[in-house]
Amino acid sequence: MYRSYFGLTENPFNINPDPRYLYPTRGAQQALNCLTYGIETRKGFILLTGEVGTGKTTLLNKLLESLHQQRVATAFMFNSRLNSAQLFDFIMADFGIACKSRMKSQILFKLHQWLLDRYEAGEQTVLVVDEAQNLSRETLEEVRLLTNLETSTEKLMQVVLAGQPELEQKLNQREFRQLRQRIALRAKTLPLTLDETRGYILERLHIAGSGEEEIFSAPAIEAMHQHARGIPRVTNLLAEHSLVRAFNEQRKPIPAEIVENIARDFSLDEADLLAQPLSPQGPRNNGRGRTRTERPYARRSSRAAREGAVGLPNHEPPFRISQMTLPLFVYGYGADGIPFYEQVNTIATNTRGGLISMQNSVQPGQRLLITNKENECSQECVVEFLGAQLARGVDVGFEFSAPTPRFWGATGVDEAPAGESEKVA
């Protein structure tokens, strides 16, 4: 839509982890060098950690691209919810190793023989596990035991574990001390500095086909860095929406005003957030011996109220409510203006929103940015209500401010025929 207006040949700020767009900051280059060195010297376990949105998966894709050029056999495990049996199925399939038997002993024997053949031929083999903080104890132990496949001097398979800072916390637990002691190298992805944010934006625009014409003004780039706090994924969000709005308003170069407005739309503006009410709402009794938190969808949403205001039926159609555990990233600002990034799982979902439990404090009416980890789509939502304070956190009901069908596409949650599911009152 905006590409011809800005002289671009492709969208420069897609959230897909395209290795072409890896911006080689000093930190990113150090992390990539660390991973490469660990693989080349057969160190066994290598750890890559970083905050949500700092480019871990993009870095891994760049590493895999380089390894493929060197004819290194790789398996990329992107679904860390697999159990131990599924883990071996995935590894054998990704490496292309045929094994008719379903017995674990036979699978391991086949894998070991295949690794030995590659080692004797002077070839490398690498297993990359993304989002490793989600691995169960049993699956993580199976991954550890894979490094027992070795010769008397070297490991037959190198394993890269990548994940959020929670992965380091997990490995610090006593039950994982054997694995922790086997990690030979550690690398990190870090937020961008202001200069790196400037270079990151200009480099992505250049790759996308921009010429000499200025697209983002210097104040606009400074505003993006301030609100994104150096997180590339949030920088992409701000930049993409700024390009769309600037095109609609036929303005270039893009001024800081547009970036500020986009940041406000996504609750990234600190002043706007601090103006929100600070008193949390507990569960309310409906007079029938049941609190509001027991039926989080038993209230008309703000969208329903708007529809009623324009003369549409003053009720919502029935929706299927699913108690599906869907992994999400939640991005927002606390009352002190400090950004937070939290990984949560849904307690319940429908096509318009869901129920999650959060450790960070939020308020009704606050806007959050949610990323569906299964399809990497992001969408703004509004906090509709708060439940009781429980050991797991506070139950938070949210509704999308502008739903996109693809966001929940990976969940299989969609509208049900009338009369087949619980009706939202």
Cβ neighbours of 248 (radius 10 Å)? 12
Q: What is the mean pLDDT of residues 248-262?
A: 94
What residue ranges do the domains of the chain occupy?
Answer: 3-16+192-265, 26-189, 292-400
CA atoms within 13 A on the CB side of 169: 7
- Which class would CATH give 3-16+192-265? mainly alpha
CA atoms within 13 A on the CB side of 192: 29
Poorest-pLDDT segment among 9-18, 271-280, 346-355: 271-280
CB 55 within 8 A of CB 16: no
Q: Is the pLDDT of residue 180 over 70?
A: yes
Poorest-pLDDT segment among 347-351, 376-380, 397-401, 421-425: 421-425
Q: What is the mean pLDDT of residues 328-350?
A: 79
CB 254 within 8 A of CB 242: yes
pLDDT at 336: 67
DSSP 8-state assignment for residue 149:
-
Query: How many angstroms separate the CA atoms of 156 and 221, rounded?
Result: 46
Name the residue type at position 20. Answer: R
Beta bridge partners of 386: 396
Reported as a pLDDT band with limits 50, 70 and 90, residue 67 is very high
Q: Tokens for 293, please give them.
A: 């938190």
Q: What string of DSSP letters covers 328-360?
A: EEEEEE-TTS-EEEEEEEEEEEETTEEEEEESS
Poorest-pLDDT segment among 39-48, 67-76, 411-420: 411-420
Reported as a pLDDT band with limits 50, 70 and 90, residue 289 is very low
**Nearest alpha carbon to residue 76 among 128, 144, 136, 39:** 128
Reported as a pLDDT band with limits 50, 70 and 90, residue 69 is very high
Beta bridge partners of 309: none
The pTM score is 0.64
Residue 85: CB partners within 8 Å, gap ≥ 6?
104
Domain 292-400 falls under CATH 3.40.50.1000: no
Reported as a pLDDT band with limits 50, 70 and 90, residue 279 is very low
Q: Quick one: fold of 26-189?
A: Rossmann fold (3.40.50)
CA angle 383, 384, 388 (to 5 degrees): 90
Q: Is the pLDDT of residue 309 over 70?
A: no
Query: How many angstroms separate the CA atoms of 34 and 239, rounded?
Result: 30
Q: Is the pLDDT of residue 224 over 70?
A: yes
Sequence-ordered alpha helix ranges (H) in 208-332:
218-228, 232-249, 256-265, 270-274, 302-309
Query: How many angstroms separate the CA atoms of 223 and 33, rounded?
Result: 31
Reported as a pLDDT band with limits 50, 70 and 90, residue 425 is very low
